[in-house]
Structure 1
Amino acid sequence: MSQAMPTTGVHVRAPGKLNLFFEVGPLGDDGYHDVASAYQAVSLYEDVWAEPSDAFTIAVSGSVDVSTVPCDDRNLAVRAARMVAREVGYRGGVHLDIVKNVPVAGGMGGGSADAAAALVAVDALLGADLGTARLLAMGAKLGADVPFALMGGTAIGTGRGDELRPALAQGRFEWVIVTTGDGLSTPEVYGHLDAQRDDGLAPEGREDIRDVEPGVLHALRAGDARALAEHMRNDLQVAALALRPELRTTIELGERSGALAGIVSGSGPTIAFLAEDRDAALDLQISLAASGYAALHVHGPVHGARVLA
């Protein structure tokens, strides 16, 4: 395609994610870790509008603190927009308006959702019709969580987390997430985990990680929240709790208040509590809010990035 002809504008919505299970292998010679993760897309969304422009520009707002979100080429969504334009030979620009509801640097993949939404939005804006496989490959170049934000649903990720396969999940899982205004740096959390392992303060990672624990898959297939709660795990949690000790208090309070289990999502500091059903989730949300926490009731799995009318 030598020159795409843009439409007037496109609106795409993409979900945040929770890591229901996250096993981290040892630090490799290339500076990366192999992982095995169970991802679930949840009903907390990023909205991205794309429209033709003379240059690649971005405006960011939202219900969360966006003061640290870059509004230049460091932003994953801008990089995604440029990537699609290069792919199709489009020589104009694109303006992105992003409305964020996923916590920034909160371990829920908000930036990756923005990038996924931008890929889909610019693909539609330019009439490129690149197809799912090409968009997934482009997303993987932007970050390990971007392909999952494109897919949505529930999936198992291995390798760097971007080697995805869908996981069958029956029914609907109810979550209460507790957010905080201060994010955590993913590289910092990984680095702290490596240091803890070197000092014998955290279990060593397995060399050859091929899959998540079978109990996780069985619980998802059965739609069994209680069984899933027994198998939830995040190897990064020990590092996140060391960097933010107050998160332990939050987890303990949530579990005392009726959660089946609480876990740090990804690199944190967002905490995800699994509830038995919708009523239990609403009760838990009310209880945590009464204790002064910013608590949101969400559910999963939900769809990945898609164009809205």
Structure 2
Amino acid sequence: MSAPKSKAIAVVAPAKVNLYLHVVGRRSDGYHLLDTLMVFAELGDGVTVETAGKLTLETDGPFAASLPNDHDDNLVMKAARALAEAAGIRPRAHIRLTKNLPVSAGLGSGSSDAAATLKALSRLWEIPDGAVDLPALALTLGADVPACLVAEPLFVGGIGEVLTPAPRLPAVDMLLVNPGVQLSTPAVFGARRGGFNPEARFTEPPRDVRELAELLKDRENDLAEAATRLSPVVREMLGAIESAPGCRLARMSGSGATCFGLFDDAETAGRAKDQLERYDWWCAVTRFGGG
């Protein structure tokens, strides 16, 4: 009789996009306090876990080569070990991480990968609901990981741990653009100049992409100027996206360098993608909201 097949669990790790990001203060320990609207796109990395005799990580996908060679230092492995320790079990699993998203790109892909790993391994290891405080554990892994664990439109405050559901957002087609340049989040925050901005949350749900874009026009990404000084191509990308026919709004996500444009439909976003690919930038059309 053949041995039973090990069960495999697959989870999508969606791209995180900051529709706006205001720096509202700074703690005594140096951490910046933020007010940001996070959404999560249909496009993302993939995390697949299955039973194994020990904890191992395999990587594939178009951006796998951008990952460090030392898999033990990968946030996915850190998440797996932290979950096992919190649950009081041995970390035994084979994890396959499919990197479809650029690395150090302002899309939170590492944080989203870690959150997806927590979800997948909780199921694989059959950890009872409530046995581990996953949001608290997520925060120990990184400021964006708690929000990525929720993976729904959120206003995020504090250093990333204060999560408030956003009003219902319409389904919006989006173009993501990355120049192939990695930007370090600490470096971008370190290069930031100027004071702080107030919170800019809204309560009325926008009915369509036009109304959403109008709301966001009064809100900025406070890290864009610093990112542009470190990588001037950010300004070039924003200009190219804004000039694409049908673009409702163009902004940078997170600490960059990925920028995005909001469009009325996927066809219009696709034409913009065709136009911008001549710059040899990574471009992808995806969607968020509508849930």
Same fold flag (TM > 0.5): yes
Shift of the alpha carbon at 1:270? 0.5
Higher relative contact order (CA 8 A, sep 6+): 1
1:257 corresponds to which residue? 244
Q: Identify if the C-alpha distance between structure 1 residues 65 and 96 changes in structure 2 by more than 3 Å, giving closer, same or farther.
A: closer
**CA distance in structure 1 between the partners assigned to 2:222 and 2:66 by the alignment:** 29
Match of 2:137 in 1: 138
- 2:18 maps to 19
- Trace 1:26-41 onto structure 2 (pairs within 5 A): 26-41=25-40
Contact 1:257 1:284 in 2 (8 A): yes
Structure 1 stretch 280-289 or stretch 221-230: which is displaced more?
Answer: 221-230
1:222 alignment partner in structure 2 = 207
Confirm or deny: 8 A CA contact 1:152 1:302 kept in the other structure. Answer: no
Pairs within 5 Å for 1:79-98:
79-98=78-97
Which segment is superposed worse, 37-46 or 220-229? 220-229
Matched, 1:160 2:159: yes
CA distance in 2, matches of 1:302, 1:138: 29
Number of the residue aligned with 1:4: none
Task: After TM superposition, list the pairs within 5 Å mapping 1:276-295 onto structure 2.
Answer: 276-295=264-283
Contact (CA 8 Å) 1:42, 1:302: kept in 2 or not?
no
d(CA) in 2 for partners of 1:16, 1:94: 24
Deviation at 1:173, TM superposition (A): 1.2
Tell me by how many angstroms 1:131 deviates.
Answer: 4.5
Deviates more, 1:152-161 or 1:287-296: 287-296
Distance 2:15 2:132 in 1: 21
Match of 2:259 in 1: 271
- For the residue of structure 1 that corresponds to 2:104, the secondary structure is coil
SS in 2 for 1:285: helix
User: Does residue 205 of the first structure (1) align with residue 184 of the second (2)?
Assistant: no
Q: Which amino acid aligns with 2:214?
A: A
Shift of 1:132: 10
Which secondary structure does the structure 1 equivalent of 2:72 belong to?
coil
Q: Which amino acid aligns with 1:237?
A: A
Does the Cα contact within 8 Å between 1:232 and 1:263 map onto a contact in 2? no
The answer on 1:246 being equivalent to 2:233 is: yes
Query: Is the Cα–Cα contact under 8 Å of residues 79 and 114 in structure 2 kept in the other structure?
Result: yes
Aligned-pair distance for 1:32? 0.4
TM-score, normalised to structure 1, is: 0.84
CA contact (8 A) 1:225 1:275 kept: no
SS at match of 2:51: strand
C-alpha distance in 2, partners of 1:125/1:102? 25
Contact 2:252 2:259 survives alignment (8 Å) = yes
| C-alpha distance in structure 1 between counterparts of 2:213 and 2:53, whole Å | 53
SS in structure 2 at match of 1:22: strand
Report the Cα offset of residue 92 of structure 1.
4.6
1:61 Cα deviation from its structure 2 partner? 1.6
Mapping for residues 42-81 of structure 1, pairs under 5 Å: 42-69=41-68, 71-81=70-80
Q: For the residues of structure 1 that align with 2:62 and 2:108, how far apart are their CA atoms?
A: 16
CA contact (8 A) 1:65 1:181 kept: no
5+ residue gaps, structure 1: 1-6, 198-202, 304-309
Question: 1-side partners of 2:184 and 2:76: how far apart?
Answer: 19
Structure 1 residue 250: Cα displacement: 1.5
Asked if the contact 2:47/2:98 (under 8 Å) is kept, the reply is: yes
Amino acid at match of 2:67: T
Match for residue 175 of structure 1? 174
State the distance in 1 between where 2:139 and 2:220 align.
24
Identity of aligned residues (%): 30
**Count of aligned pairs:** 284
Unaligned 5+ runs, structure 2: 1-5
Give the Cα separation in 1 of the matches to 2:53 and 2:91. 6
CA contact (8 A) 1:53 1:92 kept: no
For residue 107 of structure 1, report the CA deviation from its aligned partner. 0.3
TM-score by length of structure 2 reads 0.89
Cα RMSD (Å): 2.3
